[in-house]
């Protein structure tokens, strides 16, 4: 077999072909798309009528037409799968090194993950940690439908998305007690130590292969509890310039503000006749609307939506804003923001009249309400 040889590309003095922040036209490469309630309902019916697949997974992916066929997703780094389970059906166990946000759009059921049963109802959200086997059960008399948001496309681009169907029972990632983050572990006599006054350190191999571990749990945000709390935000008057939402925060994601290490999921209430200020961010957004109706303006183009629609509502760095019509709107938003915070790539421009900032390493923005 011929040996693989790397190419050598001379780039001396070559112009950078990546667009500048102001010249980027993200919505041309990845325009918003709307998956209507009718399309979703038809797919649910079709999946429900199929003979049961061997692994129990009656599922479709909603894929953006601009997606790379090798790494299909609804946004470049986000895969959205819809799965249906008939009454009394269950899926076979699976595990993978991608992480997921799960969202029940119809019916109820249970997920068995990490030795724990999560009993979910319509509009509940829960996360799946990496490489822990799980299965879904429909223990109700009606069909249930779930959306799953996964970071699989990015792992596939990196050629390391590892999936195991029917993993051995009891297969678990071993979680050890977290050591002190700065402890000198293992056999290195020197530990981690500074080499200057600026903060540069040297770290030994023993710490490199045993970083401080944080337990990654499956957490559950029941809609009944979330709704009670976001409804209180509706009372903020029209003069409030922020967004009326709660992030379903998983504390293992630390300063990256995630529901998983890659994604956040937020629940928003939009009172009637609220029009957001135009803004943009490098993170991409997918919205699912489940009450009310309204419209979004993305890079100057208007898109109408109503309850039951799923939408790529903000391709990364596209200028956008959303507005509600004459009744309150509820929506779930999933963005790949935590990933960008950890990559130090999260350019965010909260007002088009002010400069952008890199959230997570420069000073962020404020609303006209005190932080709580």
Query: How far is the C-alpha of 338 from the C-alpha of 77, rounded, in Å?
Result: 12
- 246 beta partners: 267
- Shortest distance, position 314 Cβ to Fe ion, whole Å: 5
Q: State which residue, 95 or 279, has the beta carbon closest to Fe ion.
A: 279
Query: How far is the C-alpha of 327 from the C-alpha of 172, rounded, in Å?
Result: 46
HSE-up of residue 148 (Cα within 13 Å, Cβ side): 20
What lies within 8 Å, CB to CB, of 354 at 6+ separation is: none
Decide if 268 contacts 245 (C-beta within 8 A): yes
- Shortest distance, position 287 Cβ to Fe ion, whole Å: 9
Query: How far is the C-alpha of 221 from the C-alpha of 201, rounded, in Å?
Result: 40
Q: Which stretch binds Fe ion (CB under 5 A): 50-58, 64-72, 211-219, 307-315?
A: 307-315
* Residues touching Fe ion, count (CB under 5 A): 1
52: three-class secondary structure by DSSP: coil
The DSSP secondary-structure symbol of 98 reads S
The DSSP secondary-structure symbol of 94 reads E
Q: State which residue, 89 or 276, has the beta carbon closest to Fe ion.
A: 276
What lies within 8 Å, CB to CB, of 295 at 6+ separation is: 302, 303, 304, 305, 322, 323, 325
The DSSP secondary-structure symbol of 107 reads S
Span 155-214, contacts to Fe ion by CB under 5 A:
none
Q: Which stretch binds Fe ion (CB under 5 A): 42-50, 96-104, 224-232, 306-314?
A: 306-314
Q: State which residue, 171 or 354, has the beta carbon closest to Fe ion.
A: 354
The pattern of x and - marking residues 314 through 333 that bind Fe ion according to CB under 5 A reads x-------------------
The pattern of x and - marking residues 266 through 305 that bind Fe ion according to CB under 5 A reads ----------------------------------------
Span 16-75, contacts to Fe ion by CB under 5 A:
none
Q: State which residue, 47 or 314, has the beta carbon closest to Fe ion.
A: 314
Q: State which residue, 104 or 314, has the beta carbon closest to Fe ion.
A: 314
Decide if 322 contacts 295 (C-beta within 8 A): yes
The DSSP secondary-structure symbol of 176 reads P
Query: How far is the C-alpha of 131 from the C-alpha of 164, rounded, in Å?
Result: 9
- Shortest distance, position 281 Cβ to Fe ion, whole Å: 6
Span 64-123, contacts to Fe ion by CB under 5 A:
none
Q: State which residue, 78 or 314, has the beta carbon closest to Fe ion.
A: 314
Q: Which stretch binds Fe ion (CB under 5 A): 10-18, 148-156, 225-233, 309-317?
A: 309-317
Q: State which residue, 143 or 314, has the beta carbon closest to Fe ion.
A: 314
- Shortest distance, position 24 Cβ to Fe ion, whole Å: 16
- Shortest distance, position 279 Cβ to Fe ion, whole Å: 6
Nearest to 102 by CA among 339, 334, 336, 316: 334
- Shortest distance, position 168 Cβ to Fe ion, whole Å: 43
Q: State which residue, 97 or 240, has the beta carbon closest to Fe ion.
A: 240
SS3 sequence, 4-32?
CCCCCCCCCCCCCCCCCCCCCCHHHHCCC
Query: How far is the C-alpha of 94 from the C-alpha of 103, rounded, in Å?
Result: 18
Q: State which residue, 47 or 310, has the beta carbon closest to Fe ion.
A: 310
- Shortest distance, position 263 Cβ to Fe ion, whole Å: 14
HSE-up of residue 274 (Cα within 13 Å, Cβ side): 23
Q: Which stretch binds Fe ion (CB under 5 A): 22-30, 181-189, 294-302, 312-320?
A: 312-320
Residue of this chain nearest to Fe ion (CB atom): 314
Residues near Fe ion (CB under 5 A): 314
């Amino acid at each position: 077999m011929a040996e693989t040889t790397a190419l050598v590309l001379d780039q001396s003095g070559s112009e950078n072909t990546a667009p500048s922040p102001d010249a980027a036209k993200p919505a041309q490469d990845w325009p918003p798309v709307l998956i209507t309630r009718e399309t979703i309902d038809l797919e649910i019916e079709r999946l429900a009528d199929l003979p049961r697949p061997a692994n129990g997974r009656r599922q479709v992916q909603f894929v953006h037409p601009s997606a790379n066929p090798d790494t299909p997703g609804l946004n470049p780094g986000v895969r959205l799968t819809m799965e249906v389970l008939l009454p009394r059906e269950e899926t076979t166990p699976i595990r993978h090194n991608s992480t997921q946000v799960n969202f029940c759009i119809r019916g109820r059921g249970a997920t068995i993950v990490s030795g724990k049963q999560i009993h979910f109802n319509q509009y509940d959200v829960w996360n799946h940690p990496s490489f822990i086997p799980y299965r879904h059960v429909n223990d109700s008399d009606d069909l249930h439908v779930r959306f799953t948001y996964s970071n699989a496309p990015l792992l596939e681009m990196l050629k390391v998305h590892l999936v195991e169907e029917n993993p051995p029972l009891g297969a678990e990632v071993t979680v050890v007690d977290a050591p002190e983050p700065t402890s000198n572990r293992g056999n290195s006599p020197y530990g981690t130590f500074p080499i200057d006054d600026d903060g540069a350190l040297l770290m030994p191999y023993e710490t490199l292969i045993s970083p401080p571990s944080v337990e990654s749990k499956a957490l559950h945000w029941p809609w009944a509890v979330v709704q009670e709390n976001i409804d209180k935000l509706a009372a903020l008057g029209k003069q409030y310039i922020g967004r009326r939402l709660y992030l379903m925060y998983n504390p293992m994601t630390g300063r990256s503000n995630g529901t998983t290490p890659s994604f956040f999921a937020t629940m928003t209430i939009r009172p009637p006749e609220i029009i957001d200020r135009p803004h943009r961010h490098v993170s991409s957004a997918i919205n699912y609307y489940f009450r009310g109706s309204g419209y979004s303006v993305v890079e100057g183009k208007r898109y109408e939506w109503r309850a039951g629609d799923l939408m790529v509502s903000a391709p990364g760095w596209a200028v956008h804003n959303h507005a509600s019509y004459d009744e309150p709107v509820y929506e779930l938003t999933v963005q790949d923001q935590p990933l960008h915070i950890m990559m130090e790539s999260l350019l965010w421009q909260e007002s088009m009249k002010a400069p952008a900032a890199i959230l997570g390493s420069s000073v962020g923005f404020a609303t006209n309400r005190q932080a709580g």
